[in-house]
Structures are given as C-alpha cells and as structure tokens.
Amino acid sequence: MTIEMQVMQVLAPAKINLSLRILGRRGDGFHEIETVIAPISLCDELKIDNKKQGIEFRCDDPSVPQGGDNLVVRAANAFFASTKLKPAISIELRKKVPHGAGLGGGSSDAAATLLALNQLFQTKLTREGLAKLGSTIGSDVPFFIFESAAICRGRGELVEPVKLQKQLPILLAKPEFGVASEWAYSLWQDSRKIPGVSYEVQEFAGQTFVNDLERPVFEKFVFLAQLKMWLLEQPEVGAALMSGSGSTIFAAMRQNVDVDLVAKRACEELDRELRTCACETLEGVAPSAP
C-alpha cells in the first residue's frame, strides 16, 4: 500500500453523562452500567501526519503522559498492530479538555486517533471494528467512535447511538482537583447520601438526569455537592448533575439565557479558581477542525 504524505486536523469532543446507572459489580472487576452520553462542543485538537517511521507524539500540556501510557499512543499502537501496517505517524495534541474531569478527554483523543488513522491509511475498518479495537484501550473509547449521543451498556463498550430530543446549552464547572474513576466506582456500594443534597432523578427538556456515582464522590468531595445544589438554585438552570465520576458538574441551561453570567456568578460566590466553559451538546457527527 502506498500512502501519500498527508496532514489531518481533527477534533476530539468531550462528553457528558446525562444519566449514569450502576447495575452491579461484574466478575471481571468492572461495573455493569447503563448510561446516556452526549458529545459536547468542547474539543481537544489533533494534528496527524504520516512520516517515514515510528510513532511520534507531542502534547502542549506537560501534565499529559508522553509515552506508551498515553491513550493516543496506545490507540496508534493498537491500530498498527491490528492492521499489520508499519507504524509511520506523527501526532500533535492540543489539550482543552481537562483531566480527571469526567469529560472523557483521553478516551476521545484515542477514538479520534483511530478514526483518523483509518481514514489516513485507507484501511476501511468499520465503526464496529474500530469500537472493538477501542474497547481494549478504555471503556469510553467505543462511544466516541460512533460520533453520536448514545446509550452505553456493559462496562460502557456496548454502544447504541441515539438522537437527543433537543440540543442543550451546557455550562461546565470544574474545580482545580480531579477525581479518579476507579476510586469512585470502588466506593459506590458502601457510600451514603449527604443530608440536604438532592440525588433524585431530574426531568428537563425531555431528558432524564441522574448519576449513581454522585453518592460516593460527594461523600468525600463535599464542594461538588455544594456546586450542584448552587446551580440548581439558579433560575437559568434546568438541571444540574455530575458528569461521569467527576469532578465536573454540568448544568443543562434554559433557552436564551446568559450562560457566561451564571459562570461568573459561580466563580464569585463559590470558587474564583473554578474552571468554567459554556458549550452545547452536539448533533450527529462531530465537527471537523477549522
């Protein structure tokens, strides 16, 4: 196969879990879940080009692992091993999605890498084939392969694309600290609710919002519970929930409100170091890079 020198620029969108139910612990150590996930317009950016040999990776965020532990590098290695092609790629990653945030940034980067390499090397792997490959890298990777909102089951690798009833304006709010997913899941069964904090199912804009991981995470990180309850008190907010295992709390906003104004109030009243982002859920296929 002859591959012409080519440069691709792709976006890797973050995600939010609109709902996350834990159904029990599995024999393989993972948890059986059912979750509704939506991609959002906050994106990492990847620049990919094929070069003479090897896998070269660079990232503008020094806190991101640069070697074989990085999910982008793992995705590239898995692609070349699966297709039996000689590794010949350079990948540059610009990070905008924070770590430990419950937004799936690393998994999305890995999925975007698989999709781009499949196109760049003209290997014509199906989405199902790429998703199976992605499931060996991380539970959220298959979701991002389908570039759509979806219901995900199993440990997250069983993906059923769906169309959301409405595109939702979203406010993301993340404190400086992150939360480790494995830790949150490990404490789910024995965790307790904090009095005065709402964990109940919310209904807004035709969508159900609930997250079973709020219980263990809020028990240790009480600020996240306070942040959620503060957002629920704001008239511009239709629903508020932790995404995944945190530490991001997101608000589904009402139509035609000033999202940035709510973000400013949150920083002033709760934490001036709070990282906020106004974005929206994406419809259909993820956007192309400019």
Cα angle 77, 140, 61; round to 5: 65
Q: Which of 44, 140, 174, 228 is catalytic?
A: 140
Q: Beta 88-94 vs 275-280: how paired, if at all? A: unpaired
Provide the phi-psi class of 256: left if phi over 0, else alpha when psi is between -120 and 50, else beta.
left
- Nearest-angstrom CA–CA distance, 103 and 13: 9
Q: Which two tokens stand for residue 172?
A: 């993301």
Q: Which of 284, 242, 252, 283 is nearest to 20 (CA)?
A: 242
Residues 243/17, Cβ–Cβ less than 8 Å? yes
Catalytic status, residue 15: yes
Q: Which of 248, 68, 277 is nearest to 169 (CA)?
A: 277
Catalytic status, residue 109: no
Question: Which segments of the chain are extended strands (E)?
Answer: 7-25, 31-49, 54-59, 88-94, 150-154, 158-161, 169-174, 202-204, 207-211, 237-242, 249-253, 275-280
What amino acid positions are annotated as catalytic residues?
15, 140
